[in-house]
Amino acid sequence: MVRRSVTRSIRCYHCGHRFGVSGKTESTQCPQCNQRVVVGDIVVKSLLPVKAVQTCGHIKVMRKGSVIAQDVHAGDGLEVQGSLEGNVVCGGNVTIGRYAKWRGDCAAKTVSIADGARIAGGRFRVPQSLEQSLPTPKSASDEASDESAEKPAEA
């Protein structure tokens, strides 16, 4: 019997802090903002009316599943075969299946939409990296000081 604890690098969806967890971890606490961070995959099989569905892993909405949330964060990827309503931030691929119903914004690395999928509305930003979608960690805060006013372009 082999016991492995794969270290995985995740990014806190609350504050943007990046840290490592063991591969078996389902949820943890962010060392930076102390909030709970879900790491494991989420499978939605029925109606899920919540404020937020967030994980650093993968979210799958089954054909009979339905997500009605304000914020949806899927660090690794999102697959929708049922219906989804919410503002999605995804660090990987978003797959919208042929029977899927979608309403809401989507920021993802890539998106694939099957024939037959219904998109009722939303603003898609693709590709969008997690870095752009998540708050910047405080340590890396730099005021973009562009005092270099426009230099005359020299030919």
CA torsion through residues 132, 136, 139, 143, sign: positive
Tell me the backbone φ, ψ of residue 63, rounded to 5 degrees. -55, -40
Q: Shortest approach of Zn ion to residue 27 CB, angstroms?
A: 13
Q: Shortest approach of Zn ion to residue 106 CB, angstroms?
A: 23
What is the Cα–Cα distance from 10 to 28, expressed in whole angstroms? 11
Q: Which is nearer to Zn ion, 28 or 93 (CB)?
A: 28
Q: Which of 8, 14, 103, 109 binds Zn ion (CB under 5 A)?
A: 14
Positions in 18-57 near Zn ion (CB under 5 A):
30, 32-33
DSSP assignments along 27-51, one per residue: EEE-TTT--EEE-S-EEE-SEEE-S
Which pair of structure tokens corresponds to residue 62? 């089954």
Q: Shortest approach of Zn ion to residue 24 CB, angstroms?
A: 20
* Using rule CB under 5 A, residue 73 touches Zn ion: no
Q: Which is nearer to Zn ion, 17 or 73 (CB)?
A: 17
What is the Cα–Cα distance from 46 to 133, expressed in whole angstroms? 28
Interface segment toward Zn ion; rule CB under 5 A; list 12-20, 56-64, 86-94, 117-125 = 12-20
Q: Which is nearer to Zn ion, 15 or 119 (CB)?
A: 15
Reply yes or no: is the peptide bond before residue 127 cis, omega within 30 of 0. Answer: yes
Interface segment toward Zn ion; rule CB under 5 A; list 7-15, 82-90, 127-135, 141-149 = 7-15
Q: How many CB atoms lie within 10 A of CB 93?
A: 17
Query: Which residues form the interface with Zn ion (CB under 5 A)?
Result: 12, 14-15, 17, 30, 32-33
